[in-house]
Amino acid sequence: MRDVAVIGVGLTKFGELWDLSFRQIMMEAGARAIEDAEIDGKQIDAMYVGNMSSGQFIRQEHISSIVADHAGLVPVPSTRVEGACASGGLALRQAVIAVASGIHDIVVAAGIEKMTDVLTGQATGALATAADQEWEVFVGATFPGLYALMARRHMYEFGTTEQQMAMVAVKNHHNARFNTCAQYQTEITVENVLKSPLVTSPIKLLDCSPITDGAACVILAPAEKARKFTDIPILVAGTGQASDTISLHSRSSLTSLRATIEATRTAYKMAGVKPDDIDLVEVHDCFTIAEIIAIEDLGFCKKGEGGKVTEQGETAIGGRIPVNTSGGLKGKGHPVGATGIAQAVEIVQQLRGEAGKRQVDGAEVGLTHNVGGSGGTAVVHVLRRSD
Amino acid sequence: MAVPRFWREIPNRYNLVGARCGNCNKVLFPPRYICPYCRRMGKLEPYRLKRRGKVLSYTVVHIAANGFEDQAPYLLAIIELEDGPRLTAQITDCNPDEIKIGDEVEMIFRRMGEESQDGVIYYGFKARRI
Amino acid sequence: MDVGIVGYGVYIPWYRIRVEEIAKVWGDDPENIKRGLLVEEKSVPGPDEDTATIAVEAARNAVKQAGIDPQGIGAIYVGSESHPYAVKPTATIVAEAIEATPDLTAADYEFACKAGTAGIQTCMGAVEAGMIKYGMAIGSDTAQGAPGDPLEYTAAAGGCAFIVGKNGSETLATIEDTYSYTTDTPDFWRRDMRPYPKHGGRFTGKPAYFKHVLSAANGLLRKLQLTPQDFAYVVFHQPNGKFPMHAAEELGFSKEQVVPGLLAPKIGNTYSGSAMMGLAAVLDQAKPGERILMVSYGSGAGSDAFSIVVRDTIEKKRNATPKVLDYVNRKVNIDYAAYVKFRRLLVK
């Protein structure tokens, strides 16, 4: 198995991109990554495209062909990868495996979601298909509702407060202000969050990540060849993926994602790192409670203390373990299929020292954590600066 | 949900028919077709669960799921049934301010939604506080 | 006849709306209405309830109280004028939900407010003929009254299920006999595709309700050679609180005989379930050996009268399930806005 490095990254602006189509957004992210890697498109051997639901959002399946076609790269093998909101992270993992195996050399891992070509109600309905249609959605569950059930139980078991959840949103909006690609560029306060409309108690509107258009792209190469393309190759030191039951109710814990714990264990082992070795993380904060649960499951604090460490500022830039320096799903936006790739883009930029005002000083090891559904899928990557 | 998809789950939705594994004796609901504990060694048989349980967590849904708009705000909960399995269900006939984790509930028969105004009506289970 | 009641069960929704709430909307004087109809409030189905769900709750209570294997039920008839489907039976939904399928016959009945008691008679015939072991008859409705129509004050929701079987140790009461009185009297109707019923106003009284109820009652008394003094209780269909009181008086029953089964003042007119639920309320408190007269009324028009004698078994069975008064007292009041939302009256 070969070591794998990231040689280029590209990201579009995240937000409501009314004047851009699925195809335009994808091409923009791809072009930026190719420029960043300083390669010719014809050098690409394969591509993996993470996308949750083009069928529901733009009534178009078979987007793997569209992406290769519009990139002018046919007949390169192109594969769509789907795992709900973890589609991007899974595409990255498939690309890593393809390079590591020796089958391909230069491989694109992309992610895209065009969500605003349907009305909000249709978009939330499409997202809800990541939950169990038969036994969750049929009885009236919504996606925020499932996370609200986790939040309520977390509050009950550990005394986590609505204020602490709000602080996740405040921090991530703050970080997003230093990211020109982020959907939100405004600071918010705890009071803003607490007074925002109730979506599904205790989750309020500002506890939720938004509906976003966007695409992201990373280009991988075998580590031994990476220096030909970049001065600072970023090694994919560890990759881990795990599944769990589709329904939240079938899990033994409502306050922990077993898929996260298992995927993290695998990724840490492969990379030979412990939580203490990680300098910054991008976690899947689709709702504020999700970030609190994630930092616990990733091992950055004890179970139940995610709210407390957030309140103490340990997850802010400059804190013990900066979380979601990009703004996260909450501040940067959450084009579901693109999110897992966009997380890797942020970590690469941070490890290269290119993150500008949100730079974490001296960052050498970073982690991405991408979740599908309410936790039925999780994928974790450990990235390391290797110069 | 298309008619055949709803229809084939009527025993499960109306009467909480799940499965019991003759090998490990675990009760499974929602229905499964392979025992996740015993896999090939499992011997699944239909099993009707008792209609009692307790609330493990709940939320008051204000932004309703598609098709549930007329019921908003509604209580959604995870219920642990006496037989062991957990399920997601609405809690009906209840003032949302009064619900607590640990409350005892019974599973009852209610109208869940409809295919469309001239489509079939879906019935299924909801929970009611005892 | 050698048939009786093996078990019964009722269900009344949680919600109520007071006469004052409705009167406020239409500028009526609530005291006049309450005095005129002898109704204080009525039950309202929740947004997730309909005739089928109400029938299922009542039926499950009946099966539990009867203590029988539901597979022994050979016939289910659901009487209602508010079946959720115009075409597609409610009875199959109930049969499935009480696990009585597939070895049975089932059908929906419609005869305004007496479709449920028509079901009881059908079950009696089938049991007596040896066609079935047990038959279940349900009266269940989510009654519609047009906004602003006097019916709006009383059109309520509820259901009652009776399981009929051969007389024996299982039966908690014997159905001594039944007698029906039927004519073509259009006092109340709803045309196809129309959302609300129409009625003949005061014509619904003397030539309709009273003529049929009194004739059926007198017919049965004559047939059995009984007088009002032979009965501990009398129950009538209850379109309001006043009509049954008048009917009792006309027939020579005392107030004490009619009040225990009189539910309309607290829950309104539950239509197909109305007389049956009154009977259930009486059975909830009656002593073995006591005789009950029940007379239903369905507009259009007809009345079914039943003479029922309570048996010892009732003491063993009736505490297994919630009583009628438990449901009457388990309630929450809503305002007219919530009522309009629950009844799906908002045009969207």
A19 with A155, same domain? no
The answer to whether the Cβ–Cβ distance between B101 and A149 falls below 8 Å is no
The CATH number of the domain where C98 resides is what?
A: 3.40.47.10
Q: CB of C84 within 8 Å of any CB in chain B?
A: yes
Residues C269 and C229 both lie in one domain: yes
Please check whether residue A170 lies inside any domain of the structure: yes
Q: Which residues of chain C have pLDDT under 70?
A: none
Bridge partners for C166 per DSSP:
C3
DSSP state of A207: G
Contact B62 A201 (CB under 8 A): yes
> Would residue C347 count as lying in a domain?
no
Residues in chain B with CB shorter than 8 Å from the CB of C49 are 110-111
Would C348 be classed as within a structural domain? no
Q: Do A145 and B122 touch (CB under 8 A)?
A: no
Q: What is the pLDDT of residues A234-246, one digit of tens each?
A: 999 999 999 999 9
Tens digits of residue pLDDT in B24-54: 999 999 989 999 999 999 999 999 999 999 9
Residue C86 within any structural domain of the chain: yes
Same domain, A287 and A224: no
One-letter amino acid for residue B123 of the chain: Y
Q: Is A238 on the interface with B (CB under 8 A)?
A: no
Looking at the fold, whether A175 and A45 belong to one and the same domain comes out as no
Do both A202 and A71 map to the same domain?
no
Strand segments, DSSP code E, in chain C are: 3-11, 15-18, 41-44, 73-79, 105-109, 134-142, 157-166, 173-185, 188-189, 198-199, 233-236, 291-295, 300-310, 332-333
Considering only the beta carbons, identify the residue of B71, B76, B79 that sits closest to A145: B76
Residue A325 lies in a domain: yes
Would you call A208 a catalytic residue per the annotation?
no
Any catalytic annotation for residue C237?
Answer: yes
Calpha distance B97→B112 (Å, rounded): 22
Which chains reach chain A with 3 or more Cβ–Cβ distances below 8 angstroms?
A: B
Tell me, yes or no, whether C185 and C103 share the same domain.
no
Question: Using one digit for the tens of pLDDT, what is the confidence trace for C190-229?
Answer: 999 898 999 999 999 999 999 999 999 999 999 999 999 9
Distance (Å) from the alpha carbon of C103 to chain B's nearest alpha carbon: 16
Distances (CA, A) of C44 to A298, C17, C252, C295: 51, 7, 34, 24
Stated as kind and residue range, the H or E segment containing B121 is: strand B121-129
Q: Which of A121, A134, A152 sits opposite B57 (nearest CB)?
A: A152
Q: Are residues C279 and C148 in the same domain?
A: no
- Rounded Cα distance between C234 and C175, Å, is 14
Cβ atoms of residues B129 and B99 within 8 Å? yes
Give the number of domains in chain A: 2
Domain range for C8 is 3-171+315-342
How far apart are the CA of C262 and the nearest CA of chain B, in angstroms?
A: 25
Question: pLDDT (tens digit, 0 to 9) for every residue of chain A, 387 residues total?
Answer: 999 999 999 999 999 999 999 999 999 999 999 999 999 999 999 999 999 999 999 999 999 999 999 999 999 999 999 999 999 999 999 999 999 999 999 999 999 999 999 999 999 999 999 999 999 999 999 999 999 999 999 999 999 999 999 999 999 999 999 999 999 999 999 999 999 999 999 999 999 999 999 999 999 999 999 999 999 999 999 999 999 999 999 999 999 999 999 999 999 999 999 999 999 999 999 999 999 999 999 999 999 999 999 999 999 999 999 999 999 999 999 999 999 999 999 999 999 999 999 999 999 999 999 999 999 999 999 999 987
CATH number of the domain at A353, please: 3.40.47.10
Nearest residue to A218 (alpha-carbon basis) of A336, A349, A325, A115: A349
Domain B51-129 is of which CATH architecture?
Beta Barrel (2.40)
> Is-contact A344 A223, C-beta < 8 A?
no
- Nearest CA-CA partner of C308 in C284, C283, C325, C285: C283
Same domain, C260 and C309: yes
- Which two three-digit tokens encode residue C9? 């069960």
Is A152 in contact with B71 (Cβ distance < 8 A)? no
The question of ipTM being above 0.95 is answered as yes
Regarding whether C177 and C157 lie in a shared domain, the answer is no
Domains in chain C, number: 2
Local confidence pLDDT in tens for the 130 residues of chain B: 889 999 999 999 999 999 999 999 999 999 899 999 999 999 999 999 999 999 999 999 999 999 999 899 999 999 999 999 999 999 999 999 999 999 999 999 999 999 988 999 999 999 999 9
Q: What is the pLDDT of residues C286-325, one digit of tens each?
A: 999 999 999 999 999 999 999 999 999 999 999 999 999 9
- Pair (C22, C116) in one structural domain: yes
- A281 occurs within a structural domain: yes
Contact C52 B108 (CB under 8 A): no
Domain co-membership, A156 together with A287: yes
Quick count: other Cβ atoms within 10 Å of Cβ C210?
Answer: 17
Question: Which letter, b or e, does each residue of A320-350 get, where b requires 16 or more Cβ atoms within 10 Å of its Cβ?
Answer: ebbbbbbbbbbbbbbbbbbbbbbbbbbbbbb
C218/C268 same-domain check: yes
SS percent in chain C: helix, strand, coil, step 5: 40, 25, 35
Q: What pLDDT is attached to residue C260?
A: 97
Instruction: Closest CB to C50: pick one of B48, B95, B111.
Output: B111
Specify whether A226 is located in the same domain as A366. no
- Contact status of B11 with chain C (Cβ, < 8 Å): yes
Nearest to B61 among A133, A140, A152 (CB): A140
DSSP conformational letter for C210: I
Domain match, A137 and A279 both: yes
Angle, CA of C323, C329 and C331, to the nearest 5° = 120
Task: Chain B: give the shortest CA distance to residue C13, in Å.
Answer: 9
Q: What is the CA radius of gyration of chain A?
A: 19
**What's residue B117's pLDDT?**
87
How far is B48 from chain A, CA to nearest CA, in Å? 17
Residue of A nearest to B28 (CA): A250
Residue A60 domain-assigned (yes or no): yes
In a domain? residue A125: no
Question: Residues 69 to 98 of B: which have CB under 8 A from any C CB?
Answer: 70-71, 90, 92-93, 95
- Asked if the Cβ–Cβ distance from B59 to A203 is below 8 Å, we say yes
First CA to last CA distance, chain C: 53
C321-338 burial, b at 16+ Cβ within 10 Å, e below that, comes to bbbbeebbeebeebebeb
Do C57 and B70 make contact, defined as CB atoms within 8 angstroms? no
Structure tokens at C124: 């009696």
Same domain as A150, residue A94: no
Tokens representing C348 are: 């969207």
Q: Which residues are CB-neighbours of C348 under 8 A, at least 6 positions away?
A: none
The domain limits of chain B are 51-129
Indicate whether A124 belongs to any domain.
Answer: no
The range of the structural domain enclosing residue A60 comes to 4-119+212-234
Put simply, the answer to whether C97 touches B70 (Cβ < 8 Å) is no
* Domain identity same for C25 and C159: yes
| CA distances in angstroms from A222 to A342, A364, C44, C165, listed in the order given | 21, 20, 70, 81
Q: Between B56, B60, B113, which is nearest A201 by CB?
A: B60
Count of CB contacts below 8 A, B vs C? 45
Find out whether A97 and A240 touch, Cβ atoms under 8 Å: no
Running DSSP on this structure, what letter comes out for residue C232?
A: S
Angle at A68 between CA A64 and CA A71, to 5 degrees: 140
